[in-house]
A = this chain, B = another copy of it.
Amino acid sequence: MKRYYCGIDIGGTTAKMCLYDAECTELLHVWEVPTIKHTDEYVVLNRIFDSLREVCTLYKMSLRDLYGIGIGVPGPVTEDGVVLKCVNLGWDIINLKKIVTEKTGVNNVEIGNDANVAALGEMWRGSAKKYKSIVMVTLGTGVGGGMIVDGKIHPGRNGAAGEIGHMTIEPDEKEMCSCGCKGCLEQFASATGIVRLAKKMYPNEYGKGKVDAKYLFDHAKKGDEKACDVVEMLYKYLGIALSNMAKVMSPEAFLIGGGVAGAGSILCEGVNKYYREYSLHALKDTPIKLAGLGNMAGMYGAVRMVLNEEDI
């Protein structure tokens, strides 16, 4: 029988799912299942596994014939597969690894935080193929961080490594971040953060109208001075934050992904300028690259977590 693995990237609106064929080394079947916020995690999980069972049938096998199931979830995950609350899904603390094994009969199950899993995907099939230790920064509605050390996900105590969106970069900030603290990176460098920054820096221009990150980057590219100022500020905050991460971990490379990374290579160049300015000599040349897999990274990473040695 062919060796199939399943990768699942659970998000707040959908779970992206794939079957991976280890012989052809390709994603054989890619599909999505809607998720909903529900305090009973089984509502979402049953939907996911019912759908997976149907797809398995198409390939003339049952769930338990899968060689492994890897899952990325939007919350902190401990090294033994316990999910410590997923706010976006309404889940409390659950031993997801155990639940998945019980529901599917598959023993080779791994659970990871979605940002970490995406970073692993980029290392396997994306922009970070050359590296074994990386930090992946995802600039979306918030700022997420994926941490890979020596080729493996580094979850850290309480699964809280990579919570870089909440690095304090402006201790005297007055507004509160969603986490309850003040002055977090994501209050400045996320899709919502840059808009907040724009409204603060130029209330007359950006105070009332509908601006978003794309608008600001597009206008900065056209040379609009005020948009340039705002974007430059994001570069500075992010450059300093990356430099501080490097002084802790010194990864082989940084990857930048997420919606804001749609701005393209000027984002990496802008951030890199400040990164170098605030970095020690030994750190100045760490590459800062765009992520390559977009929203497929999570599925690739989920598969990679459970691949057997022979299939890597």
Copies of this protein in the assembly total 2
Q: Does A154 contact B (CB under 8 A)?
A: yes
- B-chain residues with CB within 8 Å of residue A281 when the two chains form the complex: 179-180
Q: Does A17 contact B (CB under 8 A)?
A: no
Cross-chain contact B280 with A159 (CB below 8 angstroms): no
Q: Does A24 contact B (CB under 8 A)?
A: no
Cross-chain contact B243 with A158 (CB below 8 angstroms): no
Q: Does A149 contact B (CB under 8 A)?
A: yes
- B-chain residues with CB within 8 Å of residue A282 when the two chains form the complex: 76, 84, 158-160, 163
> Which of A37-45, A195-203, A207-215, A248-256 forms contacts with chain B?
A248-256
Q: Does A166 contact B (CB under 8 A)?
A: yes
**Chain A interface size, under 10 / 10 to 19 / 20 to 34 / 35 or more:** 35 or more
**How far apart are the CA atoms of A250 and B252 in the complex, in Å?**
19
**How far apart are the CA atoms of A280 and B142 in the complex, in Å?**
15
Cross-chain contact A168 with B280 (CB below 8 angstroms): no
Cross-chain contact A163 with B250 (CB below 8 angstroms): yes
- B-chain residues with CB within 8 Å of residue A160 when the two chains form the complex: 246-247, 250, 280, 282-283
**A168-B244, A171-B278, A278-B171 given; A249·B161 CB < 8 A:** yes
Partner of A243, one of B149, B168, B252, B278: B168
Q: Does A279 contact B (CB under 8 A)?
A: yes
Closest-CB distance, A90 to chain B (whole angstroms): 17
Q: Does A128 contact B (CB under 8 A)?
A: no
Please list the 10 inter-chain residue pairs (A to B) with the smallest Cβ-Cβ separation, ordered nearest first.
A156-B250, A161-B250, A158-B282, A160-B282, A160-B250, A163-B247, A157-B250, A248-B248, A167-B244, A168-B278
Which A residues form the contact surface with B (CB < 8 A)? 76, 84, 133, 135, 145, 147, 149-150, 154-164, 166-168, 171, 179-181, 236, 240, 243-252, 277-283, 286
A-B contacts, 14 of them at CB < 8 A, read A149-B149, A149-B154, A159-B250, A160-B246, A160-B283, A161-B248, A161-B250, A163-B247, A163-B250, A166-B247, A166-B280, A168-B278, A180-B281, A181-B278
